[in-house]
């Protein structure tokens, strides 16, 4: 068991790496989607916000999960130092567990958000980060080589994206 405070290991993420079998340890950060916490964590969301699976699907809508998402989001905006201290601790726990079990760690920082975590990825070269994004500035940085090599991005089109 790996006790995490901000990141979570859930079935949705586990399914996404099913191809790799037992070689992968994955976790994700799930903040409150869109503006649910009173803060917009998806600055380029458009029509997708009205149909966001994080708003209505599965365990995401239960009170304990929703409250945890809101708590994490508020911590991110109100006490960034504490937030990243906990994030670092969680990543460290995953890395140690993966080392013991001879696995590769994959972390999705934006399970329900689209924030910039690229500044911290270089500190965990042994971790493979990945995210979906609607942010063309992220894609531009990735294509120009100004994005961590261990941080994969998949562009998700938005009608609000700047051209």
Q: Listing from the earlier edge strand, what are the strands of the sheet with 24-29?
A: 7-8, 24-29, 104-108, 127-133, 151-155
Query: Are the C-beta atoms of residues 105 and 126 closer than 8 Å to each other?
Result: yes
Q: For residue 8, give the 3-state DSSP assignment.
A: strand
Return the top range by mean pLDDT from 6-20, 63-77, 90-104.
90-104
Q: Which residues pair with 151 in a beta bridge?
A: 129
Cα dihedral 8, 11, 15, 21 in deg (nearest 10): 80
Q: Of the candidates 30, 44, 40, 34, which has an alpha carbon nearest to the alpha carbon of residue 135?
A: 44
Inform me whether the pLDDT recorded for 56 exceeds 80: no
Lowest mean pLDDT among 8-12, 15-19, 55-59, 90-94: 55-59
pLDDT of residue 20: 66
Inform me whether the pLDDT recorded for 83 exceeds 90: yes
Average pLDDT over residues 87-107: 95
pLDDT of residue 150: 97
Q: Of the candidates 107, 97, 110, 93, which has an alpha carbon nearest to the alpha carbon of residue 156?
A: 110
Say which residue, 4 or 7, is predicted with more confidence: 7
10 Å Cβ neighbour count for 91? 24
pLDDT of residue 3: 82
10 Å Cβ neighbour count for 72? 23
């Amino acid at each position: 068991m790996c006790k995490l405070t901000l990141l979570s290991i859930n079935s949705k993420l586990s399914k996404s790496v099913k191809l790799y079998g037992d070689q992968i340890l994955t976790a994700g950060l799930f903040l409150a989607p869109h503006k649910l916490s009173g803060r917009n964590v998806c600055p380029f969301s458009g029509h997708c916000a009205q149909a966001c699976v994080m708003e209505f699907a599965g365990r995401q809508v239960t009170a304990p999960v929703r409250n945890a998402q809101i708590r994490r989001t508020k911590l991110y905006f109100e006490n960034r130092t504490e937030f990243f201290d906990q994030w670092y601790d969680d990543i460290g726990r995953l890395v140690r567990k993966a080392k013991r079990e001879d696995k590769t760690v994959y972390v999705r920082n934006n399970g329900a958000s689209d924030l910039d975590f690229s500044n911290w990825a270089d500190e965990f070269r042994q971790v493979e980060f990945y995210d979906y994004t609607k942010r063309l500035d992220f894609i531009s940085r990735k294509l120009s080589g100004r994005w961590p090599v261990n941080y994969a991005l998949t562009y998700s089109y938005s009608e609000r994206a700047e051209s």
